[in-house]
Amino acid sequence: MFAQLFNRVSTAEFHLASPLAEPRLRYLNHCGEQGAARRTLRRIAQYLLVIISQLDLEADREVRVEEIQAAAQRWACREPRHHKTKDPETAKTRFISIATQWLRFLGRLQVLKAPPNPGAQEVEEFAAYLDQEKGLSAQTIQTECFYVREFLNRFCAPPRQLHEISIPDVDEALTQKGRQDGYTRGAIRFYAAALRAFFRYAEMRGWCTPGLAASILAPHVYRDELLPLGPSWEDVQRLLATTGNDRPIDVRDRAIIMFLAVYGLRSAEVRSLRLEDLDWEKELILVSRSKQRRTQLYPLSQVVGEAIVRYLKEVRPRSVHREIFLTLQSPIRPLSPSGLWHVVGDRLRTLGVSTKHFGPHSLRHACATHLLTQHFSMKEISDHLGHRSPDATRTYAKVDIAGLREVADFQLGGLL
């Protein structure tokens, strides 16, 4: 490894002869597998030697975060300053980052256990109930438990107990969501539904005051207030046009946007796509539906297939991960929910698109309304979106069809 990183033989030999060579080599190989560039690996190798000397790591012991920070400060601000150290703060930040990641990799970072969140055990049991008894999707369970944890952190902090929660506490929580957190009535309704489900389960288990769940009243949501909103199909065309060049990020994002707009996939469904889900011989895509806990086959369009092939051949980094879409910079890993949001949201904002929602789910709505204007039946649209029944698709029929007919003639390269 050192011989591959450094051009001078003497430098490579120096690194090999320095203390803790084997742990350093293991970590450098790990970083290389994650897609770190040669220049980055050289920098890490140099910092590791500094970290060993500043933290006295030859002794087999765990290291506290405070020790790392103090050593970084001492080393970065030493006098006389090294001629290559132009910015002490940057050097300090890199020292802390590399030391923390390396020691965590070695299992030598002393991590202080955070105190458990209020009601942690109860929320865990509630999540298991939603999964095993209610059969809800992982995404729905995650969202409902997030709302419950947030509520308990605010209103059930020690020494207060769950059975002490009262109706005024819940009313205050709903009020705060509107006044302080800026939630819409629709969002508050979902928040209230999550709390109601949790306290209904808590009443069954005898954790809280009876009747608390029934007292949770969600705000009134007016008819058509929650109509799915997304960019027009013309804006989708403009969005796709921003990926029409040879930059690696544009090649990757073009394939992602096609999955979202053409197939109407949810963000989680795109992120979970794996290499084995592409059947090139039969020209099919296997999608794992995030809500219904089932899979669905789609025909692989030629244009979408070409975009995927180009991404896989020219851009996708080599990685042990089987997910199709990965980050392009080290550490190489599957895209996170926020990463996928930026793929769509940042581009829509740059285009100045007029829409209330900028995330990847907005393209699912755009796909549905476009299919509606193309006179597909509710059953066909429902099947395409993976809805459990056409009733879930009927909300799109409330959209102003006359206004959407203006973009009905637009085609996405013959994909639809």
As annotated, the active-site residues are 266, 291, 361, 364, 387, 396
In the numeric block, the tokens 């084997």 are attached to 22
Pick from 323, 299, 295: nearest CA to 311: 323
Q: How far is CA 232 from CA 17, 263, 280, 403, in A?
A: 63, 16, 32, 10
> What's the rounded Cα separation, in Å, for the pair 68 and 53?
12
Spatial separation of the C-alpha atoms in residues 259 and 147, rounded to whole Å? 30
Outline where 34-87 has alpha helix (H): 38-55, 65-76
CB of 407 within 8 A of CB of 370? Answer: yes
Burial 402-416 (b: 16+ CB within 10 A, else e): eebeebeeeebeeeb
User: Which stretches of 235-290 are assigned E, i.e. beta strand?
Assistant: 278-279, 284-289
Alpha-carbon distance of 316 to 32, in angstroms, equals 15
